[in-house]
Structure 1
Amino acid sequence: MNYQTFEPGSDLSMVIKCYWTLEDSSLQKAEKQTIIPDGCMEMIFHYGDLYRQYLSDGKSIIQPRCFVIGQLTRPLEIEPTGTTGIFSVRFHPNGFLPFANISIKEMENTAVALEKVFGSEGRNIEEKILETTSVKERINLIETFLLKKLTRLETIDHIVRTTVETIMTGNGQLSVEEISKQTKIHRRQLERKFSLAIGLSPKQLSKIIRLQVALKIMLSGDEKNLTSLAYGNDFYDQSHFIKDFRDLVGMTPKDFYGGHLKMTSLFIAD
């Protein structure tokens, strides 16, 4: 499995975290993979075989070839149907809003086809990205496409952006009250702004970031004592840590240690 990341151009660095590619031509038996929420929306282009996505009701669908995946508030189970070839744009938590033609909140936990998001322009960029085999050309194509659409800079709310930075810098450990005091904005107003721009509340984003930090420590092998890990990452106690873990990862920390989470570990380590 070959996973690579690439930096965005400076004109888009405010909205795009990175580009990444994933290729796997292995013919081994397909395994379900769990993608854990990280607070970022993604624009995915499958130039390999498609992926099956498992839904909360136990049913499954085949994902579109090219789509935007909304904010995840629960683990996403996917499974390759053949060889993997993916090019993706990973946005900052509030980075997709300037390009959204539909409500961010409506996209939650959903793979929305590019054509539904961008109309015929979405279909055109999809065809161009899939026609080329060069990562550099794919990045050039998508940057040209997104820069043409980056006309609503006023949608990049300064308060939301600085609050996101505060949450990220604090590893999700600040309470909403502390964040509200730092930004000097009422909690309810801040929550409304977050819902519009990110599709998550400040509390949800903090919870996701706090758990991501804990997962990174777990995967590094630096800490295997759950009590120390919970308190070190500002969880109220071990039981709260396990509950949040189950909500966002879909299993207990003990099961996570013993799982075969190839894609999960790739994206957490990024």
Structure 2
Amino acid sequence: MKYQTYPPHKDLSAMVQCYWTLEVEASESQEKQHIVPDGCMEMAFLFGDGIKRYVNETEFVLQPQAMVIGQITKPFTIEPLGYVNTFAVRFYPYGFSMIHTVSMLELSDRETDLSILFGEEKVTHLLIDLKNAKSTKDKIKIVEAFLFSVLNQKSNLERVVKKVMESLTANHGSTSILSLLEHDQAKVRDLERKFLKHVGVSPKTLGKVIRLQTALQLMLEKDAKSLTQIAYDSNYYDQSHFIKDFRSLTGLSPKQFSDDNRFQLSSLFYQKK
């Protein structure tokens, strides 16, 4: 399993967190994987044998070759059909709203074919160029040219959304929205509407996801601390609060997560770089 990340062009760094590649041989990709929420959206291109995404225990959909994966609020179960060769763009939580005006809420907890959002002709040409690219460096140049071509010259990202996003990120998801908006309930309701449009989830849900990611990164360190210390360092009230939030977003307890091979890919994605 080969996973690698790459930094974006400086002029795209406000919306793109990184580019990443994943290559898994068919002999290694026989088991289902559970992807946990990370607060980000992905634009992914599948050049391997295809990937199933399960909608329940037995039913699944085949993911499009070029797609956007919206905000996810529960484990995302996938199963490769063989060889995996993926190139993807990881956006910051508000990043995709800088290149498309669709409500991000409409994209949540699902994959959407890129051609639906940007047109079949444009996406077909993009896929052909990416398939013909000789290196990851060339793929990045191609996808960045695409991003620049669809980037809104005047971003539709609301200033208050950006302010709250910055605060949530800086405080590992523990920002008090009420305090930030001076306990004005009308402002809070307005912020929630804007978050659903530009981010795809509420500020509270995004805060929970960001805090979970902080805890996951600490759990994946070589010299991981106790769960009590991890809960404290991740700004949870106590260990029971940590375990409750962890279960709600992954479906498992922290101990079960660490021992479950189905979260191997998530562990690879979300460990500290």
Range into which the TM-score falls when normalised by the shorter chain: over 0.9
Letter in 2 for 1:206: G
Deviation at 1:101, TM superposition (A): 4.8
Q: In percent, how many aligned pairs have the same letter?
A: 41
Q: Aligned AA for 2:71?
A: Q
User: Partner amino acid for 1:82?
Assistant: G
- Paired residue for 2:11? 11
The answer to whether the Cα contact below 8 Å between 1:52 and 1:60 also exists between their aligned partners in 2 is yes
- Does the 8 A contact of 2:47 with 2:86 survive in 1? yes
The match for 2:265 is: 263
Q: Which residue of 2 aligns with 1:53?
A: 53
Q: Deviations over 1:74-130 (max 9, x none)?
A: 111111111110000001110001222532111111110111111121222122212
Structure 1 residues 215, 182: closer, same or farther in 2, change over 3 A? farther
Q: Superposition pairs for residues 16-165 of structure 1, below 5 Å?
A: 16-28=16-28, 30-56=30-56, 58-120=58-120, 121-165=122-166
Which range moved further: 214-223 or 2-11?
A: 214-223
CA distance in 2 between partners of 1:125 and 1:254 (Å): 43
Shift, 1:152, TM fit = 4.2
Structure-1 separation of matches of 2:268 and 2:92: 18
Conservation of the 8 A alpha-carbon contact between 2:48 and 2:86: yes
Q: How many residues align?
A: 270
Q: How many angstroms does 1:26 deviate by?
A: 4.7
TM-score, reference length from structure 1 = 0.92
Q: What runs of 5+ residues in structure 1 fail to find an aligned partner?
A: none
Q: Secondary structure at the match of 1:14?
A: coil
Amino acid across the alignment from 2:158: D
The runs of at least 4 aligned residues of structure 1 exceeding 3 Å deviation read 221-224
Q: After TM superposition, give the deviation of residue 140 of structure 1 in Å.
A: 0.8
TM-score of the pair, normalised by structure 2: 0.91
Query: What amino acid maps onto 1:14 in structure 2?
Result: A
The aligned counterpart of 2:217 is: 216
**1:122 and 1:26 mapped to 2: Cα distance?**
27
**Equivalences for residues 190-269 of structure 1 within 5 A:** 190-260=191-261, 261-269=263-271
